[in-house]
Structure 1
Amino acid sequence: MPIFTAPDGTELTYHVRGEGALLVVLPGGPMRASAYLGDLGGLAGHRRLVLLDLRGTGNSAVPDDPATYRCDRLVDDVEALRAHLGSARMDLLAHSAGGSLAMLYAARYPERVGRLALVTATPWALGMPATGEDRLAAARLRAGEPWFEDAFPAFEAWLTGTGDFDPAFAPFFHGRWDEAAKEHEARADDQFNDEAGDVYGSEGAYDPPATRAVLAGLTAPVLVLAGEVDGGPRPALARRAADVFPNAEFAVQPGAGHYPWLDDPEWFVRRLTAFLDTDGAAREPSTADV
């Protein structure tokens, strides 16, 4: 698999799926191996996806300094990947917690971003966290689901600090609790680096006023896509995040949760390609053999 070296010497890997114009993909979690993204519901049929395994996840090496798991410090890894790929500008797609990494990257290297797609992205970098009440309000939309009565008390206890994370409430993160969603969740434990996840958003990771100020001048087109029944972020919060960017589109995928490419792959791919393939999208070839 392709390997490149971060500025601090850590060896990082990425996975290539599909052919066509380059689209670099930043995973969420935080700090979850990129394998969970699959081919993004078939988006690899339209773009050459380069899915980064963040340091300490997937096939990437564990760094000598655990402090480098912090979100703002991971920006250097994304820039090293761009340089390795040989692209002056790149289109970026970021999911969930990866959205904050993408926003910090765009704020530091605005000239390197062709288009930016933020998929159910948690806008921590903008100082806009999803609250427990946000998540509970979204969860209550699922009251008609057959699993709701068993799952909701555990979810509420976790969010109010009176209970631990419980796999029983995994359905709240999916728009459809079907076999694909269950299989997706079954692989999760092996894909997370919990130690790294604890560092990702630790003190000093974000400076929301400074980031918002810089992104207010970002000229790159941005798509902010929310899931209709996602609680983190809910569509209203995602809309507030979109308002930070001067050249943003906002979309809500009907019936989707936190992993919209699983809930309705056709809708997801159609909306993403409509954004990415608009005239002006980055089309610069990569010189790296990926």
Structure 2
Amino acid sequence: MPHYVSYDAAELHYRVLGEDNGEGGPPLVCLAGGPGRDAAYLENLAGLDARRPLIVPDSRGTGASPSPANPAAYAFPALADDLESLRDHLELDRFALLAHDAACATAQAYAAAHGDHLTHLVLVAPGSRLQGELPTDAEDIFESRATEEWWVDAYVAVHSLPGATDLAEVRSLLLRAAPMAYARWTRTQRAHAAREPDQLNPVPRAGFWQGVDETARLNLLRRLRDVHCPVLVVTGDRDAVTGLRAGEAVAASFPRAVLRPLHEVGHYPWIDEPDMFRPLVESFLAV
């Protein structure tokens, strides 16, 4: 598995998908969320590797990348510094970046610090904690699905998670709550969700938002106004994890952002509607 040396001499790993596809398109770097989730859950993003290589880094403490000696390296601005080290290792002057879920905060931190290196930015199912907003529409989406057979058990699991301390219990509750993240709960979604409990590392998850005070947050947001690459923000109208309005707040942070809410799509659009997600991203990257 290829690796690179980051700013603090740590050896971090990444995967390359589709490097032998023959299309020869520019690479797309893809950041996994969670936070602290093994990037394997991204799979090949509904076949985006058919036209361009996907560079998929393992963030610290996930996949093949080791945990840092300093826990501050788990924070999303530090993960953005890792991304800059990866760009330098790959000798990319400019590149396209896609991020999902919590990794959208890392991607925004990178854009604020190194926006001149980005050709395109795709933010999939972002939250808006970085924007200082915590919309409640995800809860409304969850409540609207109360007639589905999985809902009662998922409701109990969601409300049990804050008090869970045992890792095995947390993983069990996450699996019970998983249907709320998908537009439907069929074999494909069940198989994808079944891998989540073992893909999460609670340590980097806990450190992701640490050490970013209000002054740093506001400074980061101000710098996003100077990011001039095109930005695509993708949300799903059945996403009971981050909802729709968070994406609106994120898109409003950039001068050249396009917001695309997708119908009958949850938190993982490449799983729920791959034939909708893939051409949307491909057409955006082609411009």
Query: Is the TM value for this pair above 0.5?
Result: yes
**Contact 1:56 1:193 (8 Å CA) reproduced:** yes
Partner of 1:169: 177
Partner of 1:124: 129
State the SS of the aligned residue for 1:124.
coil
Task: Using the TM superposition, name which of 161-170 and 85-94 deviates more.
Answer: 161-170
Partner of 2:281: 272
State the SS of the aligned residue for 1:226.
strand
Partner of 2:211: 203
C-alpha separation in 2, matches of 1:61 and 1:226 = 32
**Contact 2:72 2:210 (8 Å CA) reproduced:** no
Gaps of 5+ in 2: 20-24
- The equivalences for 1:1-290 within 5 A come to 1-19=1-19, 20-130=25-135, 133-155=136-158, 157-158=159-160, 161=162, 166=173, 167-204=175-212, 207-278=216-287
Per-residue Cα deviation, 1:215-271 (whole angstroms, up to 9, x for no partner):
112110000000111133221221121011110111011111111100010100011
Gaps of 5+ in 1: 279-290
Normalising by structure 2, what TM-score? Answer: 0.90
State the SS of the aligned residue for 2:130.
helix
C-alpha separation in 2, matches of 1:86 and 1:15 = 16
Cα 1:54/1:162, change in 2 over 3 Å: closer
Which protein has greater RCO, CA pairs closer than 8 Å, 6+ apart? 1
State the SS of the aligned residue for 1:238.
helix
Per-residue Cα deviation, 1:190-217 (whole angstroms, up to 9, x for no partner):
2111111101112326733212211112
Normalising by structure 1, what TM-score? Answer: 0.89
Paired AA for residue 69 in structure 2: D
**CA shift for structure 1 position 47:** 2.1
Paired residues, number: 274
**Contact 1:126 1:211 (8 Å CA) reproduced:** no
Paired AA for residue 135 in structure 1: A
Paired AA for residue 274 in structure 2: P
Aligned-pair Cα RMSD in Å: 1.8
Task: Using the TM superposition, name which of 199-208 and 84-93 deviates more.
Answer: 199-208
State the SS of the aligned residue for 2:97.
strand
**Contact 1:96 1:121 (8 Å CA) reproduced:** yes
Cα 1:158/1:216, change in 2 over 3 Å: farther
**Contact 2:7 2:85 (8 Å CA) reproduced:** yes
Task: Using the TM superposition, name which of 135-144 and 18-27 deviates more.
Answer: 135-144
Partner of 2:22: none
Paired AA for residue 217 in structure 2: P
C-alpha separation in 2, matches of 1:90 and 1:223 = 15
